[in-house]
Amino acid sequence: MKAYRFDTLDGLDALRLREEADPRPQRGEVLVRVRAVSLNFRDLAMPRGRYPRPCLPGLIPISDAAGEVVEVGEGVASFKVGDRVIGAFHPRWFGGDMPSTIQKDSYGAESDGWLCELKAISQEAVVRIPDSLSFEEAATLPCAGLTAWSALTGPTPIRAGHSVLVLGSGGVSIFALQLARAVGATVIATTSSDAKGEQLRAMGAAEVVNYAKDPQWGRQVRALTGGRGVDRVVEVGGPGTIAQSLRAVALGGEIASIGFLSTDNPGIDFFQLKGSGASFRNITVGDRSGLMELIRVVTATGLKPVIDRVFAFEDARAAFDHLESGTHMGKIVIRV
């Protein structure tokens, strides 16, 4: 099979395509012919040295994939040849508390990911996908889709009448916009581009704020809610956006802390954090049961993942460059 690996973690030039031995499914494993993978910011953060944890060089990158089962190992009862599946982002987190294996299993960081033609994997680490989703669409769900769903659910699930703030127009944020609209919530979106702002409105954002033009955008968001603030912030910006997010959130609201897109890190003011009256919840994508719930939601609502562009397998490097350009909206996919 063909597989890409980052030989070193000092930039995108270290991405190499090689011919490797085909994997064989062991007991309890399925062999998946990969049909599509989708990129996430983490896939760029690792080779750029911006991932918040140490990563191993030499691994196959990319956590999110969809494909077809082409062989089953001994003792596999859950799947048969021809089944269409996606990989779970956390292959051994089935529900309940996070397992201690979570970092070791991290695709692209500490274990081989999915930018390859064939992958042998535990039957417990894949989930069946409905016919209504193409491989390209399904490949967007494991990380960005599930993270957005986890951010909107949790102890206080977002429902009709709630307000949700999404930051920027990347993969997680667009899913959060779509899913929040699907449950009847009102969405306020930020973006650095007025042209993207028009597209965000067309996707259902009630209000759009340009964060590049107004560094105090948190105040503007709060004003748009009549001074109350939003019930949920889908916080993908991290250190450089948290202060404005705290301005935008309602008393009793929640900051779902997800990402670290911003490069500046001015620190957090304790009294602002305390005074916001909001809770702060850390999101780590989500577990297998959450992924299955997301698939049910997508199927029931007919939600179509927003795919910015699909690249050919041979052009994988160009897909990483496109992600880095930040010009995309939603997801970038590589067809395998």
Ligand X SMILES: NC(=O)c1ccc[n+]([C@@H]2O[C@H](COP(=O)([O-])OP(=O)(O)OC[C@H]3O[C@@H](n4cnc5c(N)ncnc54)[C@H](OP(=O)(O)O)[C@@H]3O)[C@@H](O)[C@H]2O)c1
Q: Is 218 among the residues that bind ligand X (CB under 6 A)?
A: no
* Binding segment toward ligand X, per CB under 6 A, in 12-20, 62-70, 96-104, 161-169: 161-169
Length of the chain: 336
Of 30-38, 106-114, 246-254, 279-287, the window that binds ligand X (rule: CB under 6 A) is: 279-287
Asked if residue 207 lies in contact with residue 224, where contact means CB atoms within 8 angstroms, the answer is yes
When asked if residue 225 is in the footprint of ligand X (CB under 6 A), the reply is: no
Is residue 170 within the footprint of ligand X (CB under 6 A)? yes
Show the site string, 9-48: x = touches ligand X by CB under 6 A, - = not: -------------------------------xxx--x---
Which helix H or strand E contains 233, and what residues bound it?
Answer: strand 230-235
Indicate which single residue of 134, 140, 153, 241 sits in contact with ligand X (rule: CB under 6 A).
241
According to DSSP, residue 123 is labeled G
Residue nearest to ligand X (CB): 170
Helix (H) or strand (E) holding 173, with range, is helix 171-182
Determine which residue in the list 6, 211, 311, 320 makes contact with ligand X, applying CB under 6 A: 211
Looking only at residues 178 through 207 of this chain, which bind ligand X when binding is defined by CB under 6 A? 191-193, 196
Give every CB contact of residue 295 below 8 A, 6+ residues apart in sequence.
127, 129, 130, 141
Name the nearest CA neighbour of 313 among 335, 284, 285.
335
Per CB under 6 A, 285 contacts ligand X: yes
**Beta bridge mates, 128:** 85
Measured CA to CA, the distance from residue 90 to residue 273 in angstroms comes to 30
Residue 93 binds to ligand X (criterion: CB under 6 A): no
Q: Cα(242)–Cα(143) distance, rounded to whole angstroms?
A: 22
Binding interface with ligand X (CB under 6 A): 40-42, 45, 143-144, 147, 167-173, 191-193, 196, 211, 236-237, 240-241, 258-262, 283-285, 323, 326
